[in-house]
Amino acid sequence: MRVRLVMLVALAVTAVVAATAAAAFGSTTSSKTFRVRLTGRAETPAGDRSGRGTAKITVKASGSVCWKFTIRKIDGKPSAAHIHKGKPGVAGAVVVPFGTAYKAAGCTKTTAAVAKAIMSSPRGYYVNVHNAKHPAGALRSQL
């Protein structure tokens, strides 16, 4: 019984030390998944007001970025999709292009620095889908 108590205390101390080390040296999260709702009203300048969709974006600290879009009621065929740097209401530069033509799902690579920046401050980035009628963006959501 006493040995069991000593082992439990040792495990608890180990867990506290590991948690403290992780907090001191930054997050140990190696990936982050964002599930977002895309709307034209969120786009800057205004996108497809009746358009809707969802996106699942997974960013890995190594630089891998995967996506899956489900688009409904968009006023034209999607032509491209990206992650941009920009706060709500701000149109920003593309930081992660999802290929040269629109694909509903796939994976790409970016730098570890960009991936970690997105993971640490997702509200400063957004994902959007473009089409011919809205070349600046038809649908958008902050991460």
Please measure the distance between the N-terminal and C-terminal CA atoms of the chain and give it in whole angstroms: 50
Write down the pTM of the prediction: 0.78
Q: Which helix (H) or strand (E) holds 20?
A: helix 2-24
91-113 pLDDT, tens digit each: 999 999 999 999 999 999 999 99
- How much is the pLDDT for 22? 43
pLDDT at residue 30 is higher than 80: yes
Indicate the residue type of 13. V
Average pLDDT, the chain: 85
71-84 pLDDT, tens digit each: 998 999 999 999 99
**Pairwise CA distance, residues 138 & 39, whole Å:** 8
Contact at 8 Å (CB) between 28 and 18? Answer: no
Higher pLDDT, 8 or 82: 82
Token couple for 35:
């599930």
- How much is the pLDDT for 1? 55
